[in-house]
Amino acid sequence: MRNGARAVEEAIRKANERGEAALIPFIEGADPSLEVTAELLWALEEAGADVIELGFPFSDPLADGPIIQEAAQRALKNRPTLSDFLALVENLRQKGFKTPIVIMGYLNPFYRFGLENFAKQAQKAGLNGAIIPDLPLEEAKPWLKIARRYQLAAVMLAAPTTPPERLARIAQNSSGFLYYVSVTGITGARNKLPEDLALKLDLARELSPVPVGVGFGISRPEQVAHLANFADAIVVGSAIVKIIAAHLKKPASLVKAVRDFVTELKAATKR
């Protein structure tokens, strides 16, 4: 289960074979602490997450809305490093944690750490790959090459405004899955998703050699149930982070609240 990109893709395909969309919950690492993050990761696995997206906090998270920005600010107070995150993942793997984990972070910290150094240590720790939202296809070649060498998932993002030819190129270069952003703008729970989203996902799946995951704005089980028919995987982030924020003063119930909500989301992925 520790083999990078392949484990991510297989986890999504297996969920699809069971007649479900894969569920990819997101949490911000080190919010409120790395110790609680470890507990939350176990809770997400127990709740049926197929792949987990683990946010690495950054001071200027351009793609994120206020909920995840606030989580990043809380996390940054703990001064976490990429080495801390890799050690956390390695420790989980040693204890038998099976679910594939991809880190979501902005380019600057990876660049400073050294892309090759990161990939080498990620492979050793059992981290499955990375999503770097501010790394466009035109500038991604060095990272894509390194990720391939270390068999890590290099999950690329496509937006509703991406023209079909470019969408095909992004999909060809993506590994693990293609992250299709459901709405233009930043992350955050939304009451309504675009009406043409299903059609756009159909096109993305037609063009993509890897599974297509959809994220941004998805916050409720009924939205998950609707999109399960059109996407291979569904990413839910802000709604989970919001629950964490609401339970900061009552940490005893924090992990259970997240586990219960993600269990509900996973039940909604059945087609």
Nearest to 104 by CA among 123, 132, 68: 132
What's the pLDDT score for residue 196? 87
DSSP state, 270? Answer: B
What's the pLDDT score for residue 237? 93
* Neighbour tally for 28: CB within 10 Å: 31
Q: Whole-angstrom Cα distance, residue 110 to residue 124?
A: 16
- pLDDT tens digits for range 204-228: 999 999 999 999 989 999 999 999 9
Contact 171, 178 (CB under 8 A): yes
Distances from the Cα of 50 to the Cαs of 14, 211, 212, 265, in angstroms?
9, 13, 14, 12
Residue with tokens 């127990």, as numbered in its chain: 46
Tell me whether residue 134 is exposed, middle or buried, using C-beta atoms within 10 angstroms of its C-beta: 0 to 12, 13 to 18, 19 or more.
middle
Q: Whole-angstrom Cα distance, residue 179 to residue 24?
A: 11
- pLDDT tens digits for range 223-261: 999 999 999 999 999 999 999 999 998 878 999 999 999
Catalytic residues: 53, 64
Give the sheet arrangement for strand 157-158, strand by strand.
Answer: 153-155, 129-131, 101-104, 52-55, 22-28, 233-236, 212-215, 178-181, 157-158
What's the pLDDT score for residue 1? 46
Q: HEC string of 191-203?
A: CCCCCCHHHHHHH
Please give the domain boundaries of the chain with CATH numbers for all domains. 4-267 (3.20.20.70)
Amino acid at 160: P
Peptide bond into 142 cis (omega under 30): no
Structure tokens at 85: 């995150």
Question: Which parts of 97-217 fold into alpha helices (H)?
Answer: 107-113, 115-125, 141-149, 164-173, 197-207
Distance between first and last Cα of the chain: 25
Q: How many helices (H) and strands (E) does the chain have?
A: 12, 9
CA 25 to chain centre: 7
Helix (H, G, I), strand (E, B) or coil at 129: strand
What's the pLDDT score for residue 191? 61
Amino acid at 36: V
Q: Whole-angstrom Cα distance, residue 156 to residue 209?
A: 13
Contact 142, 151 (CB under 8 A): no
Nearest to 4 by CA among 124, 88, 85: 124
pLDDT under 70 in the chain at which residues? 1-2, 61, 63, 184-192
